[in-house]
Each structure stands twice: as C-alpha cells, then as structure tokens.
Amino acid sequence: MSYEYILTEVPAPGVGLVRLNRPQALNALNNALMKELHDALSAFEADDGIACMIVTGSERAFAAGADIKEMLDTPYIDMFMRPTVTANFDFSRYKKPLIAAVSGFALGGGCELAMACDMIVASETAVFGQPEINLGILPGGGGTQRLTRAVGKALAMEIMLTDRRLTAQEAAQYGLVNKVVAVESYMDEAIKIGQKIASLSRVAVRLTKDAIQRAFETTLQEGLQAEQHLFYMAFATEDKQEGMTAFAEKRKPTWKHK
Ligand code: HXC
C-alpha cells in the first residue's frame, strides 16, 4: 500500500516500522496521517511475519502534536461526530508490542502517541511536553491519564498546566521512557529491542503484554486473577513445552508460536 504521510519498512526480520513523514509540519498529526498510521499498524498486526512494531518520526521531530491548522477551523460538532485524531490513541487493539522511537519534539499529540505505545526509546535530543494549555485546550489523546500514571500527579500537573517540558534524561528519570541513547543510535536501539521480542515465543509475548495491560485497567485483585488465568493458559501452549524442554536439555528453544 502506498501512503502520503508515512513510510513503512521491515528493518529486521519480524520488526515492522512505521515512520511519520510530514517533515514540513514537524510530523503534525492530521486526520489523514492518523488514519494511515492505523492502516499501517493494522497491516503489520495482521502479518504473521511481524512480531513487533516500531513507530518513529524524524531526528528533528517525532511529532509536534495534533495539526493545529487543521483543528483551527474544526467546530465542536465535527470533533464530536468525527473524532479521528483525538479518539485514535487507543492502541489496545494491537496485540503485538509497540515501541516508540523518539527523537526531537514529542509534544501534545506527539507525546500522547509515544505514550500510547508499550515502550519508548528516546534519543538524547528528545523533548516531551503537553503544551495544549497555550492553545486554550487540554490534551485529548490520553495525556491527562497516561502521563499522570507515568510520572505522578504533581509533575503531570506542572507539565500540563505550565507547559513544563521534559528532556530525555528527565523523562528517563521519571519513568516515562525506557532508555536514552545517542541520536545516532536510537533507531538501532529500538530495532534491537524489536529483534529481541521477535526472537521469542509470540504466544508468550502476547500473553505477557495482555497481563501487563491489565495493571492499568483493573484493581490489583482483578489484575492478579487475570494474570493467573493467562499464566495457566500458557500451560496449554506448545511453546511452554518447548521452552521448558529446551532449558532442561541445555539448548535453544525452537518456537512454534502455538
Ligand atoms: C501544525 C505545525 C505544528 C502543529 C509545527 N508545525 N507544529 N503545524 N500543527 N502542531 C509547523 C509550523 O507551523 C511550521 O510550518 C513548521 O511546522 C515548522 O515549525 P516551526 O514552528 O517553524 O519550528 P520551530 O521554530 O523549530 O518550533 C518547533 C516547535 C513549534 C516548538 C515544535 O513548532 C511548536 O510550538 N509547535 C506546536 C506545538 C504544540 O502546541 N503542540 C500541541 C498541539 S495540540 P510553516 O508552514 O510555518 O513552516 C495537540 C492536541 C492533541 O497536540 C489532541 C489529541 C491528539
């Protein structure tokens, strides 16, 4: 499929990469780009050859937010009836792990897009922020919820009420990102994590991601129960048998993804 605002590639076996490609607008997220992003992720999700997905932008900008110029003339009724950009940060439909590889600006919807992924690898030039308050609006792609859970209430309030921006190092210190690496190597680092995930049992990866997600959506008791059921489910898989047999036989497992 050919796209206008994104590029796709498979940089390593099992790893699907979507690159936002709207450089003249610092990858501002317009409705068309968000639709293409989801089309591309859905295609990777349906592709048996892909185990893990990466979303990235350019070195200068992961994404500078939702497209302000597009939103400028969007009336309430259109946001309500066609909430394309704002409603599109629910990535729960993707069962395969998603890594955001972030360099440069990750502002507003850009920060929210990164946080909607499962992990964030940041270049040391990355800047995270939610500057919506300057536009007379508030974050609408999950920012008030995901950022608050990631960094805690006090800092989240400061970021969203005063447009405090976080450097990559600060984002790592507060637990928002997994790691910070040199700008020359952040893509390689994200791909390396993707390859590691692609080398594992897809069924175990899926069960694990599912269990971790429950931690954000349920009480502890319900989450623990869900984990138990998913854990028992793993005992019905061929990969559990293979993984444990390979350990006992001191060899590498050959996954069947079943
Ligand atoms: C539309 C944008 C844009 C955006 C940048 N551009 N951000 N266009 N929407 N969010 C455009 C600029 O208009 C400009 O176009 C070009 O990209 C380069 O940007 P400059 O401002 O010239 O670059 P620079 O001086 O380096 O400043 C970079 C910047 C600044 C600090 C990132 O562009 C900025 O403050 N952008 C807006 C950030 C923001 O407020 N994001 C939140 C948006 S609201 P021209 O044509 O002039 O060259 C949001 C709501 C989320 O995200 C809701 C849920 C999704």
Q: Is 150 exposed, middle or buried (0-12, 13-18, 19+ CB in 10 A)?
A: middle
Amino acid at 254: T
How much is the pLDDT for 88?
Answer: 83
Q: How far is the CA of 28 from the centre of ligand 1 (A)?
A: 7
Structure tokens at 177: 């990102």
| pLDDT (tens digit per residue) in 35-69 | 999 999 999 999 999 999 999 999 999 999 999 99
* Main-chain phi, psi angles of 12, to 5 degrees: -155, 155
Indicate the pTM of the whole model. Answer: 0.97
The residue whose C-alpha atom lies closest to atom 47 belonging to ligand 1 is 25
Q: How far is the CA of 66 from the centre of ligand 1 (A)?
A: 8
Taking the C-alpha atoms of residue 220 and residue 240, their distance in angstroms, rounded to an integer, is: 26
Strand partners, 188: none
| pLDDT (tens digit per residue) in 229-247 | 999 999 999 999 999 999 9
**Alpha helices, H only, the chain:** 31-46, 68-72, 76-81, 109-116, 143-151, 153-162, 168-173, 186-198, 202-217, 220-234, 238-248
| Ligand 1 pocket, residue 104 CB under 6 Å | no
179-181 β-sheet, strand order: 6-12, 15-20, 52-56, 98-102, 119-123, 179-181
Active site residues: 66, 109, 112, 132
Q: How far is the CA of 25 from the centre of ligand 1 (A)?
A: 7
